[in-house]
Amino acid sequence: MNIVKIDEDNFVIELAVAGYKLSEIEITSQLNNLKIVGKKEEKDERTYVTKGIAGRSFSRDFTLADTIVVRDADLVDGILSVHLENVIPEERKPRKIAIKQTLPALELEK
C-alpha cells in the first residue's frame, strides 16, 4: 500500500490487488471512514509447487480527516487507486488579521 501526495490538497491511496476482478473489490466511505474490501469469488483447485501470490480476501480501513472527500477510484495493471481531496471550507482556512495602531492614552491628552 502507498499513500501518495499529489499536491497540497490531493492524495492517492494505492493498493496492489493483482488477480482481483472489479466485481471482487468493494470500496465504501462513511463519515470519516474509508473501507476497501477484496473477496475472492473462485476457488483455485490447482496444485502448486510454489505459491508466492496471495489469493485470500482482505480488508483495509482508513480513518480520514473531516475535510477529506473520496473523489473516485480506478484499477489499472493490478493497482487500485483511490483518489482523495482535502476540501477545507473558507471559514476554516488561515487568514491574516489586520493589526490596528492606536496611540497611547497619554499622547491623546496633549
- C-alpha grid cell for residue 12? 492517492
Residue 31 is classified by DSSP as T
The domain made up of 2-92 has a fold known as Immunoglobulin-like (2.60.40)
Q: Is the separation of the CB atoms in 35 and 59 below 8 Å?
A: yes
Cα radius of gyration (the chain): 25
Indicate the pLDDT class of residue 56, thresholds 50, 70 and 90. confident
CA distance 34 to 27: 7
Strand 33-38 and strand 68-76: the pairing is unpaired
- C-alpha grid cell for residue 48? 502448486
| pLDDT tens digits, one per residue of 22-32 | 999 999 999 99
